[in-house]
């Protein structure tokens, strides 16, 4: 059977995170989305860790659930997760790397937290603490507590805080992880990259690709997710998930359009300059407005490290996008709230849009059920032809995108402005 997992998110104790990121809300929204397994996030934060211990009960080895049942169709399971930011200098260059840590139980978390504290890390400062520990030092601490922990480099392409980041990263896993390289079984794509971009990187051939939301508010849960193949949800253990990550028991991943990510193209936000990799090849990386170096986008960085072209790795595409080499496929989605907002010509925060969203998930079971599985004609029968058409277009990839750059989110639209009578026509996306 399959379980949809979102193992990278943040609690209200992390910077710039909604005060609604508390356990009951995370559990409720995971259930609405159709997420069966969600990360606790931020297990290093002393106050949050106390909330985890008070609010969760262990229902399988290393698998937790809220004590009071939600009384909903899906009662999400929790896995102990956190993210750590390492800022340090290596060989004269400064690096800022984010890593996810997954842990098998509460007492191991307690030991990791104690060791970090002894190494001078201020765990109270933020749910995603900043440390001066290098990535290998962090690995040393975590694996000395338990070899069952997993360390996964987070959103590996973002320019400022990641493994391959153009501003603060490395060119290879080995340079970053040193003697721990062989324990890096998987990477997280981040919002600005999709699996196909990662299939082009030779050293990722033997590593598995995970996608999670990095949500800072409950509605954003599951904007990316990984669907694991498991034996039995009722007997799920931490070990099963670890095994699935190491041995690639992944049915498929669910992806945001990478163009919607904040760093897809190269550019300067304040100078309103943005460039595709083709344009950058011609124009270079100096800003024509201010004369400083542009922020190198993810697509450009992939081009620098890739061993082959997109055509060489992408196989057939129907609803799923498949690889030519048997890697787990993926689906591209637009968040359901955004789809409804476009259909209703309104915004995601409008009450009418939220009501329609609640009606749809009530009727069909969950957000992912509507996006991925419910037959289009059923959607049309209850919610009208325009909604059905919108979801059909999203499933077929018939949408319009305007790429993000230098911290500005990209946008996707189901109907082009010209179809709606507007003046500006956006380029239709052609992935293949």
Q: For binding to Zn ion (CB under 5 A), which residues are involved? A: 98, 154, 268, 271, 287, 289-290
Ramachandran area for residue 285 (φ above 0: left; ψ -120 to 50: alpha; else beta): alpha
Least spacing, CB of residue 363 vs Zn ion, in Å:
35
Least spacing, CB of residue 324 vs Zn ion, in Å:
31
Smaller CB distance to Zn ion: residue 130 or 271?
A: 271
Q: Crossing angle of helices 46-55/23-33, nearest 10°?
A: 70
Both structure tokens of 43: 């297990």
Both structure tokens of 190: 């981040």
Smaller CB distance to Zn ion: residue 216 or 229?
A: 216
Smaller CB distance to Zn ion: residue 271 or 305?
A: 271
Least spacing, CB of residue 110 vs Zn ion, in Å:
23
Least spacing, CB of residue 214 vs Zn ion, in Å:
6
Least spacing, CB of residue 98 vs Zn ion, in Å:
4
The Cα–Cα gap between 2 and 356 comes to 28
N- to C-terminal Cα separation, the chain: 31
Cα 419 versus chain centre, distance: 32
Phi, psi of 370 (to 5 degrees): -65, -45
Three-state helix/strand/coil letters over 220-277: HCCCCEEEEECCCHHHCCHHHHHHHHHCCCEEEEEEECHHHCCCCEEEECCCCEEECH
Smaller CB distance to Zn ion: residue 193 or 366?
A: 193
Smaller CB distance to Zn ion: residue 215 or 331?
A: 215
DSSP 409: P
Smaller CB distance to Zn ion: residue 82 or 366?
A: 82
Least spacing, CB of residue 215 vs Zn ion, in Å:
12
Smaller CB distance to Zn ion: residue 99 or 366?
A: 99
Smaller CB distance to Zn ion: residue 132 or 375?
A: 132
What is the torsional sign of CA 125, 130, 131, 132? Answer: negative
Least spacing, CB of residue 26 vs Zn ion, in Å:
17
Q: Of the candidates 7, 32, 43, which has an alpha carbon nearest to the alpha carbon of residue 219? A: 32
Q: Checking DSSP bridges between strand 266-268 and strand 63-66, what pairing results, if any?
A: unpaired
- Under 8 Å between Cβ of 102 and 80: yes
Least spacing, CB of residue 414 vs Zn ion, in Å:
29
The Cα–Cα gap between 304 and 198 comes to 12
């Amino acid at each position: 059977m399959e379980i949809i997992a979102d193992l990278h998110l943040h609690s209200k104790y992390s910077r710039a995170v909604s005060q609604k990121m508390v356990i009951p809300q995370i559990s409720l929204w995971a259930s609405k989305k159709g997420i069966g397994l969600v990360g606790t996030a931020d297990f290093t934060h002393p106050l949050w860790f106390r909330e985890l211990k008070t609010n969760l009960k262990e229902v399988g080895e290393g698998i937790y659930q809220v004590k009071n049942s939600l009384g909903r169709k899906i009662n999400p399971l929790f896995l102990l997760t956190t993210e750590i930011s390492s800022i340090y200098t290596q060989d004269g260059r400064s690096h800022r790397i984010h890593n996810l840590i997954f842990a098998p139980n509460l007492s191991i978390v307690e030991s990791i937290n104690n060791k970090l504290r002894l190494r001078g890390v201020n765990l109270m400062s933020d749910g995603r603490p900043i440390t001066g520990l290098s990535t290998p030092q962090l690995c040393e601490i975590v694996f000395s507590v338990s070899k069952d922990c997993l360390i996964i480099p987070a959103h590996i392409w973002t320019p400022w805080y990641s493994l391959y980041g153009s501003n603060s990263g490395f060119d290879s896993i080995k340079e970053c992880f040193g003697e721990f390289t062989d324990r890096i079984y998987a990477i997280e794509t981040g919002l600005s990259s999709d699996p196909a971009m990662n299939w082009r990187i030779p050293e990722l051939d033997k590593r598995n690709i995970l996608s999670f939301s990095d949500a800072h508010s409950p509605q954003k849960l599951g904007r990316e997710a990984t669907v694991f193949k498991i034996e039995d949800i009722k007997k799920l253990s931490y070990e099963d998930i670890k095994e699935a990550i190491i041995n690639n028991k992944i049915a498929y991943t669910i992806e945001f359009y990478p163009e919607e990510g904040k760093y897809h193209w190269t550019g300067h936000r304040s100078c309103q300059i943005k460039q595709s990799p083709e344009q950058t090849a011609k124009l270079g990386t100096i800003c024509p407005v201010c004369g400083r170096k542009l922020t190198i986008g993810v697509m450009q960085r992939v081009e620098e490290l890739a061993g082959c072209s997109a055509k060489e790795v992408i196989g057939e595409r129907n609803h799923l996008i498949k690889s030519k080499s048997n890697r787990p496929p993926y689906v591209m989605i637009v968040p359901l709230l955004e789809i409804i907002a476009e259909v209703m010509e309104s915004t995601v925060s409008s009450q009418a849009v939220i009501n329609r969203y609640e009606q749809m998930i009530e009727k069909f079971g969950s957000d992912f059920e509507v996006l991925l599985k419910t037959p289009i004609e059923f959607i049309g029968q209850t919610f009208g032809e325009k909604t059905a058409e919108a979801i059909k277009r999203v499933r077929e990839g018939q949408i319009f995108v305007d790429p993000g750059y230098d911290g500005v989110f990209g946008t996707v639209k189901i109907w082009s402005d010209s179809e709606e009578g507007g003046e500006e026509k956006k380029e239709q996306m052609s992935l293949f």
